[in-house]
Amino acid sequence: MYPFLRMTTDLIDLRAARAADCNALADIHSAAWLGAYRGLLQGVDLQKMVSRRGTGWWRGALARGVDIKLLCVADIPAGYATFGPCRLLDTGMEGEIYELYLKPEYQGLGFGRTLFGNVRKTLRSQRLRGLAVQVLSDNQPARNFYRAVGGKLTAKSWYRLGGRRMELSIYAWPQAN
């Protein structure tokens, strides 16, 4: 009756990142990290980590074959995920999401769930059973997100940054990922 009210998801595009996306990936990383970790990481350490992930770093990651999924909303790059074989020992998981970040203005709108679900599906298609994610324990919004998408806290780990010991929480989705 009212075709202009019809809901569509055609505005969301999820695809493998390409070399032409490296500036956008650097921008997403910077905005997401500054939004997520300001106050959790010391200012100098945070700026160093963000500045290391410029366009050149992303070009190198793609050249090394890192799996990077880009989420665009209305043709605007809004988020990304990096993923592949699990690097976390003793989890029993074969797949891992290394990073999943959205620009702050796209958070809380369901785009993270969409990106997460798409990456899980990709990992399954690569025959990687089970999924693990590691997150800074002080990053409560990220921990809440991974719990909300069914992750179970299975272990803790530690990371040293700028002389500070940072606790990491490991969430897992067993074999039926």
Q: What letter does residue 128 receive in the DSSP assignment?
A: -
Domains and CATH numbers, the chain: 3-173 (3.40.630.30)
pLDDT band at 7 (very low <50, low <70, confident <90, very high): very low
Q: Which residue has the higher pLDDT, 4 or 141?
A: 141
Residue 161 reports pLDDT greater than 90: no
Residues 6+ apart with CB under 8 A from 62: 17, 18, 19, 22, 68
In tens, the pLDDT along 62-99 reads 999 999 999 999 999 999 999 999 999 889 999 999 99
Position 176 scores a pLDDT of 54
pLDDT band at 15 (very low <50, low <70, confident <90, very high): very high
The model's pTM is 0.89
What is the percent of the chain with per-residue pLDDT over 70, rounded to a whole number? 93
Q: Which amino acid is at 161?
A: L
Residue 172 reports pLDDT greater than 90: yes
> Which of these, 94, 67, 93, lies nearest to 81 by C-alpha position?
67
Q: Which residue has the higher pLDDT, 2 or 168?
A: 168
For residues 52 and 44, the answer to whether their CB atoms sit within 8 Å is no
Residue 53 reports pLDDT greater than 60: yes
Mean pLDDT of the 118-131 span: 96
